[in-house]
Amino acid sequence: MKKIQIIILFILSLILTGCYHDDYFFDESKLNIVATTSILGDLVRNIGGDKVVVYDLMGSGIDPHAYNATAGDVRKIQKSDLIVYNGLDLEGKMEKVFSNIDKVGMNYLAIGEHVNTEKLIKTDEFAFDPHIWFDVSIWMEAAEVVKNKLSQLDEENSIY
Q: Torsion over CA of 159, 151, 88 and 81, rounded to 10 degrees?
A: 140
The enclosing H or E element of 44 equals helix 38-48
> What is the model's pLDDT at position 66?
84
Which residues contact residue 106 at a Cβ distance below 8 angstroms, ignoring those fewer than 6 apart? 83
pLDDT at 129: 83
Cβ–Cβ < 8 Å for 102, 77: no
The predicted pLDDT at position 12 comes to 53
CA–CA distances in Å: residue 135 to residues 115, 120, 139, 144? 12, 9, 6, 14
| Successive 10-residue mean pLDDT values, the chain, 160 residues | 64 51 67 94 95 91 85 88 90 79 78 88 84 92 95 80
Backbone region of residue 61 per phi and psi (left: phi > 0; alpha: psi in -120 to 50; beta: other values): left
- How high is the pLDDT of residue 13? 54
pLDDT the model gives residue 160? 61
pLDDT of residue 6: 64
> Residue 103: what pLDDT?
63
- Pairwise CA distance, residues 116 & 13, whole Å: 53
